[in-house]
Amino acid sequence: MTEKTRTTGVSRRTLLKSTAGLAGLAAGSGAITGFPYVMSAEPKVLRYLGTAVNEGDDISKQCLKDTGIKIEYITATTDDVTKRVMTQPNSFDVLDTEYFSLKKIVPSGNILALDSKKIKEFDNITPVFTKGETPGGKKIGGQGTAPWKVLYLEGKDSKTFSKTPTEFVTLIPTVYNADTLGIRPDLIKRPISSWSELLNPEFKGKASILNIPSIGIMDAAMVVEASGKYKYADKGNMTKEEIDLTMKVMTEAKKAGQFRAFWKDFNESVNLMASGETVIQSMWSPAVTKVRSMGIPCTFQPLKEGYRSWASGFCVSKGVSGAKLDWAYEFVNWFLSGYAGAYLNRQGYYSAVLSTAKANMEPYEWAYWMEGKPAEKDIKAPDGSLLEKAGAVRDGGSYEDRMGGVACWNAVMDENDYMVRKWNEFIAA
């Protein structure tokens, strides 16, 4: 499970691999040196830059088997991925990134607009991305950098997002989820139903949030709104006054000793929760699963104010052309064709093309993960380890309920610079 989840930092191995890849590229690529080279002699290799969410060894092995494309993973944190796109756009071919990063990446001109006609399953991508509603027709909250706001470009070389669908796509969606608070029901011993509980003095010294400013402040805003202190026009794009107000509430809580610690990486969040240092904190779904698989009760608690959602997918580097571009399309098409989707669904994430993923899952698995039904049989992770015993029901229920309950999306604000300064002030307070 750990390898399939988000981890921070570049491991020595991946760093070596990626630098070796870089050196290899500099030495061998005809695209850069301008020398012609024989296409057929080249193995099909794509350098894949991303966070660890989609980067399973199983996925790359299956991909090699099905398409002959060898995937070389370059693993980094969300922030470092963006940094790399800005500073070393030629160091990767395929980019796996989140929609909110697009507000930074697209204006930099370092990614290629993808042709939606070359994506076989494009029309089958869940309407969550294209229309902002669930397949069942539930409208999804659009605060923050919702995918449909940044999915299309106005033209092939445009740096402006199009409000209406065009054939030029920024990021082909692959995986997404709805995040909420994780709790320790055995230590809290009462129902939790609102984000405002995060700042409830009852949990003094036992609460935690993410120390990633752009995401942490959204969770904070959910709390502020839930406690009735303020109603935001757009939590994902606050004015300076709104940032001040949000940070003031959080600063008071911090000074009162509400937070045990802030966490930054997946394993930290698991440790805090499993050791009982915290009993309520913002969390990611697989982290909750991991705590549970250690035999410790942990719930990914649905809350009445809704979820904060995130979504990621594939971009292609501007430096990719010719045969390599064809491989990139082939790879993206393969990724949406079912195997990877089923794999992600089994981890508690959601796949972008539901129909193909469903075809690759057992009916009882689909019923548990996607329809919110009690598990008919034991539920296993992709690596075969036991996740839930028969009879268990997924926290938050069905896809319709969870994605339909999304209130806002991870975002980059227009006032990002101000927000980051205020966040530093908050940490220093």
Partner 1 sequence: MDMSEEVLHQAAPGVIPGSGTARAAKPARLSPSVISWLQAGPMMLVFVAFFLIPLVFVVIVSFWDYNEYQLLPAFSGRGYTDTFEGCIDKLPELCTIGRTYVMTLKLCFMVWAITLFIGFWVAYFLAFHVKSKTWQMGLSLLCTIPFWTSNVIRMIAWIPLLGRNGLVNSGLVKTGLVNQPLEWLLFSEFSVVLALVHLFTFFMVVPIFNSMVRIDKSLIEAAYDAGATGFQTLVNVIIPLAKPGIVIGSIFVITIVMGDFITIGVMGGQQIAAAGKIIETRVNALQFPAAAANAVILLIITFLIITMMSRIVDIKKEL
Give the residues lining the site for partner 1 (CB under 8 A): 9, 79-80, 82-83, 86, 103-105, 107-108, 205, 211-214, 254, 259-264, 267-268, 271, 275-277, 412, 416-417, 420-421, 423-425, 427-429
Q: What's the CA gap between 71 and 59, in Å, rounded?
A: 9
Q: Whose Cβ is closer to partner 1: residue 10's or residue 367's?
A: 10
Q: How far is the CB of 18 from partner 1 (least distance, A)?
A: 19
Q: Whose Cβ is closer to partner 1: residue 109's or residue 155's?
A: 109
Going by C-beta distance under 8 Å and a sequence separation of 6 or more, which residues neighbour residue 324?
Answer: 31, 46, 93
Q: How far is the CB of 237 from partner 1 (least distance, A)?
A: 13
Cβ atoms of 309 and 178 within 8 Å: the answer is yes
Q: Whose Cβ is closer to partner 1: residue 246's or residue 337's?
A: 246
Q: By C-alpha distance, which of 410, 423, 408 is closest to 143?
A: 408
Q: How far is the CB of 44 from partner 1 (least distance, A)?
A: 31
Q: Whose Cβ is closer to partner 1: residue 281's or residue 345's?
A: 281
Q: Whose Cβ is closer to partner 1: residue 84's or residue 235's?
A: 84
Q: How far is the CB of 176 from partner 1 (least distance, A)?
A: 22
Q: Residues 218-256, buried b or exposed e (16+ Cβ, 10 A)? A: bbbbbbbbbbeeeebeebbbbeeebbebbbebbbebbee
Q: Whose Cβ is closer to partner 1: residue 107's or residue 391's?
A: 107
Q: How far is the CB of 200 from partner 1 (least distance, A)?
A: 18
Instruction: Report the Cα–Cα distance between both ends of the chain, in Å, rounded.
Output: 37
Q: Whose Cβ is closer to partner 1: residue 77's or residue 196's?
A: 77
Q: How far is the CB of 270 from partner 1 (least distance, A)?
A: 11
Q: How far is the CB of 213 from partner 1 (least distance, A)?
A: 7
Q: What is the DSSP-derived secondary structure letter of residue 20?
A: H
Structure tokens at 127: 């309407």
Q: Whose Cβ is closer to partner 1: residue 29's or residue 267's?
A: 267
- Distances from the Cα of 387 to the Cα of 188, 286, 292, 340, angstroms: 23, 10, 8, 19
Q: How far is the CB of 107 from partner 1 (least distance, A)?
A: 5
Q: By C-alpha distance, which of 247, 301, 274, 289 is closest to 427?
A: 247
Q: What's the CA gap between 202 and 16, in Å, rounded?
A: 47
Residue 271 burial (CB count, 10 A)? 16
**Maximum Cα–Cα distance for the chain, whole Å?**
68
Reported for 16-24, long-range contacts at CB under 8 A and 24+ positions apart, including other chains, are 17/72, 17/73, 17/74, 18/47, 18/72, 18/74, 18/91, 21/47, 21/72, 21/74, 21/91, 22/91
Q: Whose Cβ is closer to partner 1: residue 270's or residue 406's?
A: 270
Q: How far is the CB of 425 from partner 1 (least distance, A)?
A: 4
